[in-house]
Structure 1
């Protein structure tokens, strides 16, 4: 399928796909991003299901095109293009020579071996195994380093923005999602380029009869692009288990219970009854109410902190837990469908909400669960998810479907009374046996956690002068414009161009993960220099033309990444192969410029969805920014995190000023100094 070409509109199916650099601690996480997938779900007569798709969920999975391995020459060329704005002439000449030597020598050998290996493993992609290994072998805490968050928009009906009501409704909707998926009745994930043709009953009635071996191509013929859904399997009943050296992904889909956390206590109750039906919503409401009424103060030793520890430390402490007789309770946590965190906090603004959803206070989380719903006392809702099992396409689909279901078909209303059930006989409170080693380990984990999160700053800003509507009239990419504002803001504050990361999903391919868009380019560098340092030397038309060049090139990079034609994953796979063979590290990967490129000071991601309020993450390096942003119809929003090495407030002022200047120029006005 090397000849496959997706149109530019397929673009970046950005997937909360935090990626990782192959260079030591220099990881790069990617996007809280998403394409607005359009789908029409058929209504379902079964209250346990979201809908009943006439096209089976995995109808296209068998015929998905395989993830292509780029040509080595193209990878080297793209790598050098991305390096150009980051290096001076002498540095670039050295890197260029190393890259050319790599292409002719050891790189060629490694590439040929990678291609041969890929041909022997046609059931998967060349990046899947190394990518899982990279995540699971990382020893750092998952908190701040890997787990991102997404918060839901408030329910359109204010009466439903209540902790008990939202927790009950979202729990029911999430279980409906799970049952619909496992029954093979969840609408396949499809990007509809022309929904008037492909998101129709006629299309579905025809495509369902096309054999699975060629069904993808049938959709492709009318500009519908089915996406890989292999990661959905890990959404439920899944947990990352700490192990020495490399963690394990555990899934036990026979679990019928949910895990509920409140004030550091653990509770479970069955959400699926003996007949396989979802527990009555009024009973779920009663159980949540019972848990919230528990007067117990937080336990002295709060076990949740252990999941925020270094993975090797947590592994040894988990082993100690097993030795102390906690195997049964740990298994109940690991096998739970998902985790529900009932927080006793009220979060009144974006910054407080982001801190709570990203890390919280540590005691009321089990960060290893595949995902956790978080509900604050005032009814705000969000998701924090562990990242090793997959990227954001599956999580975003879950969030979109849950929000849609809870707002269109809520399981309970504000007038619903809790069922007259004895929750004390149904809800099980988990108790742990702790020795002195475990108690000391928990206290140490708590201290490390508090030190880490206290060092994190989060700030937000909104630019109200325009958004997608205006930029579309200017024939400009909204994402390119947002990325340009970040480049310009950083140059304004620090007078330099730095390695920048934006993740792009490659879910258009079987077992695709992510690819990197490199938004710092020679075009953005030239444009930023002109705006920040030389605006008086350039006419408005010149500056406008430079913005257009940035947009055009960013669009090209985005299309290449979505088509798995970037360079980061290819080089990562070659480095991984060299290490797995015990070979000496090729010189290119030891070059300071390669290491610098993977030290992503600007780690950026975007997400717009009717369900989503905010999405964010911590910086991926100590001297970096973690940038979540969304370009809406008439405004642009940013939520940015940093550690003390960077001034996040000043950065956002610089970004806002950059947007002011850009929009002034686009409107034909001179820049205000």
Structure 2
């Protein structure tokens, strides 16, 4: 893999990479990586996602719902589950196995999961599209908005071209990178039979991951249709979509041969966008707002919009087919403030939607101060592919950015062939649709509350010091926080990737367990009857062990959520009446995910956020950094109290930290 060394200034890089056509067409500029192993080297040999045994799924489901049910509810669930396992469940399981056997090229969950995403009619912002905010570049000459945008665009294109040409490093999870992420490992893999390459990699404790989603990272759009959306893909596109104050521009970033344009040319074209945009008022009818609407409403509005052949042509050619979207925000949209992050995070997560196109697979949001974020549509893929892109691009822009504030640019004023203002024919009906979508999105965003916590005493260092699993400690803290704040246990969702399998997606890990319940009840006992610190520490270790086991099962395709989901999907396909199991309070309660959590381990991540998945729920984006544990909690006003939860979470952290510290000193 070719990596570039850090240079003092971008002026040096500009002279190296854009002085001649030969240089900009060279591998060092055109590709982010030049892997010795082809990108999809392991894809053919990846194992298939297993369908769990029906008995195991039923046992795991029963264990997961136990903390959420009363004794009588649990007894009823056991009866229904037994009937399901011995009756209709067996029939559906057999049909699912048969379908899976006839589709060996994919996984049993892939198509149903796509259908689930694309059929949901809920608006994309808050309900589906997550937000990832990059750490800033501490060097002012690279943080300026257009400079950072230029560098991010170039690095994104370098990533894309590496992927297209099979030069991007295969996605491999290395248990011990010092031993397996080496030239020697790659030499052995290169001589391994391709049909067995994945299994050969296992010998190095290196686990190849599915990369089938990667091709949709760029050039992909979700198109609204009545009842069910569709994904369209334009891999040969040469331009990106740039948005500014609700106006839309198509900007060519690849030349006619598919090579990345020089840094000075790309920066010049972005500056031309600013100049064009400065010559007119903000968009009176910002069409991007329509992508925030309920999907059927947007489908109807789009169907009307494309009755005009002009609109149909430019919407398909310039918007849908763009490689990705770049949203240049203004100072009025907000800048990052460490002491008050909420206003900008809310704006980036959903905001007014006037300067967004939520249907693009990837959108780069660049605030006026250079704060950079990735906003992505979720139906096409999961966090593994997006996080790889996010990390690689961030690292690339830090190691050797191609432009700085001192870099010259190639003027593109009047170059309407490469910088094209996208202007639609808008009638009163479309204007009314935009106004309605704007009002509805504003109402939802106004009802969204966001609360943050940074807790310094629990971090990567303390977890390592005390031999703790960071994720299990955080998840245990969520359970304790909710129990002491609201006096109950609720459905809790933690996503776990199954990308170790061909066309794997995700499985649900259920952090609310009998072990976490026992610990929470013990901690909240009166002091006179509370177990000792050592006893409580033992309970923490038991929680951690169970959490690790559940995580391992989920990652190996041995959870229960996706299996039950697929069995219900088969029943729908076969026209079979929905089994009683899916009508039980147990099934409804565990799938009403009041606590929905997600974490992305990344040194590039400044913040991550998403909306609650149910109206009375909490959307918790969390991470453990080197110096703190952090959580961003979203809730809907008057339906859930995020502030109470955050205060309780700090108390829970304190209790757990004190137990750990006290038990280690005795």
Q: Where does residue 27 of structure 1 map in the other structure?
A: none
Q: In structure 1, which of residues 263, 267, 278 is the aligned counterpart of residue 260 of structure 2?
A: 278
Gaps of 5+ in 2: 5-25
Q: Where does residue 10 of structure 1 map in the other structure?
A: none
Q: In structure 1, which of residues 595, 608, 630 is the aligned counterpart of residue 623 of structure 2?
A: 630
Alignment partners' CA distance in 1, 2:539 and 2:266: 57
> What CA deviation, in whole Å up to 9, does each residue of 1:385-412 have, x standing for no partner?
0000010111001111100110112111
RMSD: 1.4
Q: How does 1:482-501 map to 2 (within 5 A)?
A: 482-501=474-493
Alignment partners' CA distance in 1, 2:391 and 2:299: 34
Whether contact under 8 Å (2:142, 2:401) holds in the other structure is no
TM-score, L = length of structure 2: 0.93
Q: In structure 2, which of residues 19, 43, 55 is the aligned counterpart of residue 73 of structure 1?
A: 55
Q: Where does residue 335 of structure 1 map in the other structure?
A: 321
Q: Where does residue 132 of structure 2 map in the other structure?
A: 150
Is the partner of 1:667 in helix, strand or coil? helix
Q: Which has the higher contact order (CA 8 A, sep 6+)?
A: 1
Matched, 1:655 2:649: yes
Q: In structure 2, which of residues 234, 240, 244 is the aligned counterpart of residue 262 of structure 1?
A: 244
Matched, 1:402 2:393: yes
| Cα drift, residue 422 of structure 1 | 2.9
Whether contact under 8 Å (1:128, 1:513) holds in the other structure is yes
Q: In structure 2, which of residues 305, 310, 314 is the aligned counterpart of residue 321 of structure 1?
A: 305
Alignment partners' CA distance in 2, 1:310 and 1:535: 51
Q: In structure 2, which of residues 597, 615, 636 is the aligned counterpart of residue 643 of structure 1?
A: 636
Q: In structure 2, which of residues 308, 331, 334 is the aligned counterpart of residue 346 of structure 1?
A: 334
Q: Where does residue 11 of structure 1 map in the other structure?
A: none
Whether contact under 8 Å (1:357, 1:383) holds in the other structure is no
Whether contact under 8 Å (1:375, 1:382) holds in the other structure is yes
- Greater shift after overlay, 569-578 or 291-300? 291-300
Is the partner of 2:662 in helix, strand or coil? coil
Q: Where does residue 21 of structure 1 map in the other structure?
A: none
Alignment partners' CA distance in 1, 2:527 and 2:591: 31
Q: In structure 1, which of residues 585, 596, 599 is the aligned counterpart of residue 592 of structure 2?
A: 599
Alignment partners' CA distance in 2, 1:272 and 1:653: 50
Q: Where does residue 136 of structure 1 map in the other structure?
A: 118
Q: In structure 1, which of residues 659, 666, 672 is the aligned counterpart of residue 660 of structure 2?
A: 666
- Greater shift after overlay, 286-295 or 650-659? 286-295
Is the partner of 1:323 in helix, strand or coil? coil
Alignment partners' CA distance in 1, 2:292 and 2:459: 38
| Cα drift, residue 535 of structure 1 | 4.5
> What CA deviation, in whole Å up to 9, does each residue of 1:414-473 have, x standing for no partner?
210221333543311001112221111111111101001110011111111131222223
Alignment partners' CA distance in 1, 2:149 and 2:600: 23
Alignment partners' CA distance in 1, 2:319 and 2:612: 29
| Cα drift, residue 156 of structure 1 | 3.8
Alignment partners' CA distance in 2, 1:83 and 1:536: 31
Alignment partners' CA distance in 1, 2:231 and 2:204: 38
Q: Where does residue 237 of structure 1 map in the other structure?
A: 219
Alignment partners' CA distance in 1, 2:301 and 2:334: 33
Q: How does 1:437-516 map to 2 (within 5 A)?
A: 437-516=429-508
Whether contact under 8 Å (2:129, 2:378) holds in the other structure is yes
Whether contact under 8 Å (1:227, 1:507) holds in the other structure is yes
> What CA deviation, in whole Å up to 9, does each residue of 1:516-572 have, x standing for no partner?
000001111111112123444221111111111111110110111110110000000
| Cα drift, residue 115 of structure 1 | 0.9
- Greater shift after overlay, 268-277 or 251-260? 268-277
Q: In structure 1, which of residues 176, 198, 201 is the aligned counterpart of residue 180 of structure 2?
A: 198
Alignment partners' CA distance in 1, 2:593 and 2:640: 14
> What CA deviation, in whole Å up to 9, does each residue of 1:135-167 have, x standing for no partner?
000011111110001010111423311111110
Matched, 1:310 2:294: yes
How many residue pairs get aligned? The number is 631
Is the partner of 2:28 in helix, strand or coil? coil
Matched, 1:179 2:164: no
Alignment partners' CA distance in 2, 1:263 and 1:597: 42
| Cα drift, residue 376 of structure 1 | 0.3
| Cα drift, residue 639 of structure 1 | 0.6
Whether contact under 8 Å (1:259, 1:333) holds in the other structure is yes
Matched, 1:367 2:361: no
Q: 1:129 to 1:354 in 2, by over 3 A?
A: same
Matched, 1:420 2:402: no
Q: Where does residue 375 of structure 2 map in the other structure?
A: 384
Q: Where does residue 6 of structure 1 map in the other structure?
A: none
Alignment partners' CA distance in 2, 1:520 and 1:158: 45
Alignment partners' CA distance in 1, 2:411 and 2:228: 47
Q: In structure 1, which of residues 88, 91, 106 is the aligned counterpart of residue 88 of structure 2?
A: 106
Whether contact under 8 Å (1:118, 1:125) holds in the other structure is yes
| Cα drift, residue 356 of structure 1 | 2.2
Alignment partners' CA distance in 1, 2:618 and 2:527: 27
Is the partner of 2:29 in helix, strand or coil? coil
Whether contact under 8 Å (1:42, 1:53) holds in the other structure is no
Whether contact under 8 Å (1:169, 1:412) holds in the other structure is yes
Is the partner of 2:621 in helix, strand or coil? strand
Alignment partners' CA distance in 1, 2:346 and 2:194: 45
Is the partner of 2:226 in helix, strand or coil? coil
Alignment partners' CA distance in 1, 2:527 and 2:616: 29
TM-score, L = length of structure 1: 0.92
| Cα drift, residue 597 of structure 1 | 0.9
- Greater shift after overlay, 290-299 or 188-197? 290-299
Q: 1:423 to 1:465 in 2, by over 3 A?
A: farther
Alignment partners' CA distance in 2, 1:262 and 1:529: 53
Whether contact under 8 Å (1:56, 1:208) holds in the other structure is no
